[in-house]
Amino acid sequence: MIKVAKFGGSSLADANQFKKVKDIILRDSSIVITVASAPGKRFSEDNKITDLLYLSYAHLKYSVEYTKMFVHIEDRYAKIKKELNLKLNLGKEFDKIKSKMKKGMNKDYLISRGEYLNAKLLAEYLGYTFIDAKDIIFFNFNGNINIEKTTRAIEEVFKCNSKIIVPGFYGSLPNGEIKVFSRGGSDITGSIISRAINASVYENWTDVSGILMADPRIVDQPKKIDFITYNELRELSYMGANVLHTNAVAPVKEANIPINIRNTNEPDNPGTMIVNNNYEILEEHSISPITGIAGKKDFSILSIYKYPMSEEPNSLLNILEVLKKYKINIEHISSGIDNFSLILSSEHLEKYLYEIIADTKKLCNSIEIKVVRDISLIAIVGRNMVHKPGTSGKLFAAMGNNGVNIRVISQSSDELNIIIGVANENFEKCINVIYNNFIV
């Protein structure tokens, strides 16, 4: 069994966290490649190094004094180095970075130094081989990963080294320049490496003991999800559950490699396993009818009325064209005999509402348009709902018994989710009612 382990920013935020990471890596000999993030927050008002690097770049760009802020970055690393008794020549590393800053460098180079330096320190602390991500993660000029070249390079490096530390979040372009992923992108580095070496598991170490069944800011101490499928995760993430970088899923999902979300501060907790539907022991972990609940506020319902709608057969097509023109994504569509309704993000709709109404009225004769605002969408997600009658009945009964009026109902035909739309003011109550009826 071989594993790739990625440690997020809070797991490597200071010397004390480095010690926990060392213990985790040393007690599990199957961890062969470790991906390191830049130091994150040590406490809630603290700064992430990556944020400070972005800020330094903005100062530099507008010729605003940045050296004082840069000292904070240097101090964070110096403190880790000192407390762990390491030898890395940070002075030399920072001189190189600062001289590039004076000459004018590529923005991504500066932003990526957070993970670069942290991985160097971690490699020395563990006595492992440091491999620069620029030498194994290759982007094409269009921003996509060059999979063949990247896989070959990772395989090559892995052949020659048994224990490796790699900085997350960046790679290089065909001209050798550094390029970073979008924020949180170290997750993607771990995923690409896991696929390249065909890891048995991709461990993603963070500061929570797995994915929770509901948002803990809404539900008091929600239970942890032990096993979740990639498809269920997609549904929950889309509806607001924030777990992994979205682009980190595809490489491991396609290769059938599970992701294990673990907590650096509670290393004995098995966390959450994210697996494909065919995972062998998934059935044993399929007790609850639903896997999780997630939701988002602030949608609007845009309803189009025409009596009789048969006189305006192209009205749906017309409005879809109008929404396409303003690049507005449609969440759901429901229809009646002489009307149909579109559920859209309020933020996007409000930007072009008057243009959309004017354009639609130009295309369709004597229609009426109504907008209802302040709608929340709530999804209940679960592989166990499939082919089992009763879940929606139980859901609607629970809403009715608690005086919650449902404005929108939608269920995908794969039965993996049921989505309801309720007034924003009922959002928190609704999630608690669902949790208490289905999970507790």
* Interacting residue with ligand ASP among 10, 17, 37, 300 (CB under 6 A): 37
Angle between helices 315-325 and 346-363 (to 10 degrees): 130
Shorter beta-carbon distance to ligand ASP: residue 188 or 419: 188
Shorter beta-carbon distance to ligand ASP: residue 115 or 215: 115
CB of 18 to ligand ASP, least distance (A): 16
* Interacting residue with ligand ASP among 4, 5, 32, 38 (CB under 6 A): 38
* Interacting residue with ligand ASP among 10, 11, 34, 50 (CB under 6 A): 50
Nearest-angstrom CA–CA distance, 352 and 355? 5
Nearest-angstrom CA–CA distance, 361 and 398? 40
Q: Decide if residue 57 touches ligand ASP (CB under 6 A).
A: no
Helix (H) or strand (E) holding 296: strand 292-305
Angle between helices 90-103 and 67-84 (to 10 degrees): 160
Q: How many residues bind ligand ASP (CB under 6 A)?
A: 14
67-74, long-range: CB within 8 Å, 24+ apart, which pairs?
A: 70/98, 72/47, 73/49
Residues 149-188: x where in contact with ligand ASP by CB under 6 A, - otherwise, as a string = -------------------xx-------------xxxxx-
Give the nearest residue (CB) to ligand ASP.
186
CB of 208 to ligand ASP, least distance (A): 15
Nearest-angstrom CA–CA distance, 303 and 299? 13
What is the DSSP annotation of 34-63? EEE-----SSTT---HHHHHHHHHHHHHTT
| DSSP-H helix ranges across 281-368 | 315-325, 346-363
Shorter beta-carbon distance to ligand ASP: residue 168 or 271: 168
* Interacting residue with ligand ASP among 56, 114, 122, 431 (CB under 6 A): 114
CB of 177 to ligand ASP, least distance (A): 18
Nearest-angstrom CA–CA distance, 118 and 128? 13
Q: Decide if residue 48 touches ligand ASP (CB under 6 A).
A: yes
CB of 53 to ligand ASP, least distance (A): 9
What is the DSSP annotation of 390-428? THHHHHHHHHHHTTPPP-EEEE-TT-SEEEEEEEGGGHH
CB of 115 to ligand ASP, least distance (A): 6
Shorter beta-carbon distance to ligand ASP: residue 259 or 378: 259
By the 8 A CB rule, do 396 and 431 touch?
no
CB of 183 to ligand ASP, least distance (A): 4
Count Cα atoms within 13 angstroms, Cβ side, for 254: 9
Q: Which residues lie below 8 Å from residue 230, measured CB to CB, with a gap of 6+? A: 249, 253, 274, 275, 276
In angstroms and rounded to an integer, the radius of gyration of the C-alpha atoms of the chain is 25
Residues 69-108: x where in contact with ligand ASP by CB under 6 A, - otherwise, as a string = ----------------------------------------
Shorter beta-carbon distance to ligand ASP: residue 8 or 295: 8
Q: Decide if residue 9 touches ligand ASP (CB under 6 A).
A: yes
Footprint of ligand ASP on residues 375-394 (CB under 6 A)?
A: none
> Interface residues with ligand ASP (CB under 6 A)?
8-9, 37-38, 48, 50, 114, 168-169, 183-187
